[in-house]
Structure 1
């Protein structure tokens, strides 16, 4: 650049271009170019690069790559595969590098160009992400729901065992409770939990649960193009942010509720951040979002999947590949099923008859032992082999009570033991355990005694056992007190004093 300046200054003071070329030891053509441009124009290509070995094969390569557009993404030509086919099928003698450079340049020219978007307050985007977590000591995949408010970049994150329709709806409900407001509209992808079908005209046929949810909150739903995550790029980026910042290192919590409570705290802390290009914190910009959003309805939406079923001969109801038990009194009857994200509720004729923790495995049976006790009382020989009772973790006092009952009453003792267990249909295990322990201490080994002690504990009154029902207990004879007995006692004391 220094030489460029000196040459131009010399020519400007009257030196000819011939003299300047000789003076500065450069060609006259170079001097002429220096006088044409005030600054060096740089190298300018006037014709396309000639590739004598590649150019004859470009139509073949283009044909292959055009056919690839109809193939699955993971089953298309790579540069290496194009090179191999050209050598084997077409007699190509060039190198691999020119093939690779040509395909890279072709892909670069075909990349999509995007329009910068502005986001008015009061609107949202939603999506799901995945990350590995450890809940209750078990390493598993968590599906975390993310709701983003693009205007303020405020977010809400909640994790679930599976990304089902109930999780989508439950995530929205908790997000609205977190922000204490409802967005005007939300942008989604075309997840099957939300969209049952995309019609030929581009409209979406919504899933039934999601449609009811939108009707409850009066939200305008919008959808991105299939396979185009950039249509909701804010929440897509936020999913990655949450995975990198909230899920590293691997989260470890005792329960899902504890994990989600921690995630809410992270969302609140993030509102103190000032993002690049902004002068306000996320929380300050969030106020404009909240002002444009609608208030919450009077009651939240019931986020459950509803289904119907029939109780089997083993008192089981099937829902989504898993079986859940109900009381044996409802065998062979039609029931209704409400599946929440963490619970399955089964009802019959408007009455709730069973509640179970939801099982996310496949082909499992979820028992409640209490449901089968009335039937086991009738079929007492099935007590030891009853599958619902296997693995039932009861305090040691129950095993002691059963052993004493069977030792004293044989077969009838087993039935009375089941009757004791049936008290759990009405009372808590803690109270029954205390009553059983007290009965063992008193030596009152029977169902009537345990029930009496349990009722006295619940009603907070002292127990009064009828000992005629327990002939094996030692009896104390207490005579009726008379006044003359006291007189005899007093006279005896007087004589002793004399």
Structure 2
């Protein structure tokens, strides 16, 4: 630039172009260019690049790259592979560099362009992301739901064991409660949990559960083009932000509830931040979103999948490939099922008969041992082989009680032990455990004694198992058995 200035000044003061070229030791063509432009214009190509060795082969390259659009991206042609095929199949004698430059230039010409978007307040975008977490000491994949308000950049994150339809619905319910309002519309991709089918004309058939959510909260749904995540770029960016900022390093939590409580706390803390290009905090801009959003309905939507089933001969009900137990009294009856993200509720007519933690494995059996105790009491020989009791981790005192009962009453002792376990149908494990420990301490090994003790435990009153507290009752005098007494009975019977 310094030389540029000196040449222009010299010529402006009367020096000819020939003299300037000789004085500054440059060509006259360079002097003419310096006089034509006030600043260096840079290199300008006035003719397209010619590649005489490649010109006859570009149609093959174009055809291969067009065909690649229908192939998985990891099996598409690279420039090196194109060069090798041209040599092997078409006798190409040119170098690799001209092929690489042509492929790069072609990709630039065909690369998609985007329109800058404005985001009015009151609208949202939603999506799911994935990350590795450790819950209760087990490393597993977390599917985290993200809903973003692009106008204010406020967002909500919640993690689930699986991205099921119930997780989608539960995420919406909790996000709307977190924001304190319902967006006018939410933009999605075409997830099968939301859209059961896309018609040839582009209209979408919504999933039943998602339609119920829309009817309850009265918001509109919008969808991006299939396979085009950039149509909802705001939430795509927030999914990556949540993964980088909330899940690095790998989170370790005792439960999903603890993990989600931490995520919600971080979402609240972010509302105080001022992002680049803004003068207001996210929370202040959120107020404009809330002003354009609908108020929450009086009651939240029940985020569950509803199904029906029939109890099998083994007192099991199948839901989502897994079998859940119910009390044996409901065998072979029709039941209704509600699948939540964290539990499965089973009922018969208007009564809830079973609750189980939701299992996300496949073809598993989830038992509640108490459900089978009435049947085991009748079929006592199945006690040691009953699958529902196989992994039942009872306190050590229960095994001691069983051993003493069986030593005193043999088979009837086993039945009384099951009767003791059946007290769990009415009382909690802590109260029954305390009663069993007291029964062992008092030497009152029997169902009636344990039942009396657990009632006293619940009612907070002292037990009445010692005859010293009943002075009005006569004491029984039990003598030692003698053979002479037995012979006297025999002689009386003979007379």
Q: In which range does the TM-score fall when normalised by the shorter chain?
A: over 0.9
Give the CA deviation at 1:466. 8.6
Deviation string, structure 1 residues 335-354 (Cα, Å, up to 9, x no partner): 11111001001111121111
Rounded Cα–Cα distance in structure 2 between residues aligned with 1:445 and 1:109? 88
Spell out the pairing of 1:208-357 with structure 2 (5 A cutoff): 208-357=208-357
For 2:487, the equivalent position in structure 1 comes to none
Alignment of 1:110 with 2:120, yes or no, is no
Rounded Cα–Cα distance in structure 1 between residues aligned with 2:329 and 2:3? 103
Give the CA deviation at 1:289. 1.2
Rounded Cα–Cα distance in structure 1 between residues aligned with 2:438 and 2:33? 110
Rounded Cα–Cα distance in structure 1 between residues aligned with 2:440 and 2:38? 108
For 2:19, the equivalent position in structure 1 comes to 19
Moved more, 46-55 or 62-71: 62-71
Rounded Cα–Cα distance in structure 1 between residues aligned with 2:128 and 2:109? 32
Give the CA deviation at 1:100. 1.6
Rounded Cα–Cα distance in structure 1 between residues aligned with 2:425 and 2:137? 31
Rounded Cα–Cα distance in structure 1 between residues aligned with 2:434 and 2:93? 90
Give the CA deviation at 1:66. 1.9
For 1:454, the equivalent position in structure 2 comes to 454
Moved more, 375-384 or 99-108: 99-108
For 1:141, the equivalent position in structure 2 comes to 141
Decide whether aligned partners of structure 1 residues 447 and 89 sit closer, same or farther in structure 2, where only a CA change above 3 A counts: same
Give the CA deviation at 1:155. 0.8
Runs of 4+ in 1 over 4 A off after TM superposition: none
Deviation string, structure 1 residues 257-282 (Cα, Å, up to 9, x no partner): 00000001111111121111111111
The alignment yields a C-alpha RMSD, in angstroms, of: 1.5
Deviation string, structure 1 residues 276-319 (Cα, Å, up to 9, x no partner): 11111111111111222121111111111111111111111111
Rounded Cα–Cα distance in structure 1 between residues aligned with 2:108 and 2:404? 83
Deviation string, structure 1 residues 230-267 (Cα, Å, up to 9, x no partner): 11111100000010010000000000000000001111
Rounded Cα–Cα distance in structure 2 between residues aligned with 1:210 and 1:322? 23
Rounded Cα–Cα distance in structure 2 between residues aligned with 1:97 and 1:426? 81
Deviation string, structure 1 residues 363-386 (Cα, Å, up to 9, x no partner): 111000000000000000000111
For 1:370, the equivalent position in structure 2 comes to 370
Give the CA deviation at 1:217. 0.5
**What SS does the aligned partner of 2:284 have?**
helix
Deviation string, structure 1 residues 8-52 (Cα, Å, up to 9, x no partner): 333323333333333333333333333322333222211111112
Decide whether aligned partners of structure 1 residues 396 and 18 sit closer, same or farther in structure 2, where only a CA change above 3 A counts: closer
For 1:496, the equivalent position in structure 2 comes to none
For 1:9, the equivalent position in structure 2 comes to 9
Decide whether aligned partners of structure 1 residues 408 and 63 sit closer, same or farther in structure 2, where only a CA change above 3 A counts: same
Rounded Cα–Cα distance in structure 2 between residues aligned with 1:428 and 1:246? 39
Decide whether aligned partners of structure 1 residues 462 and 11 sit closer, same or farther in structure 2, where only a CA change above 3 A counts: closer
For 2:40, the equivalent position in structure 1 comes to 40
**What SS does the aligned partner of 1:69 have?**
helix
For 1:170, the equivalent position in structure 2 comes to 170
**What SS does the aligned partner of 1:104 have?**
helix
**What SS does the aligned partner of 2:361 have?**
coil
Rounded Cα–Cα distance in structure 2 between residues aligned with 1:154 and 1:216? 23
Spell out the pairing of 1:349-428 with structure 2 (5 A cutoff): 349-428=349-428
Decide whether aligned partners of structure 1 residues 21 and 333 sit closer, same or farther in structure 2, where only a CA change above 3 A counts: same
Give the TM-score taking structure 2 as reference length: 0.92
Decide whether aligned partners of structure 1 residues 62 and 403 sit closer, same or farther in structure 2, where only a CA change above 3 A counts: same
Moved more, 427-436 or 364-373: 427-436
Rounded Cα–Cα distance in structure 2 between residues aligned with 1:212 and 1:355? 24
Give the TM-score taking structure 1 as reference length: 0.91
Spell out the pairing of 1:48-63 with structure 2 (5 A cutoff): 48-63=48-63
Spell out the pairing of 1:453-472 with structure 2 (5 A cutoff): 453-465=453-465
Give the CA deviation at 1:161. 0.2
**What SS does the aligned partner of 1:453 have?**
helix
Moved more, 94-103 or 197-206: 94-103
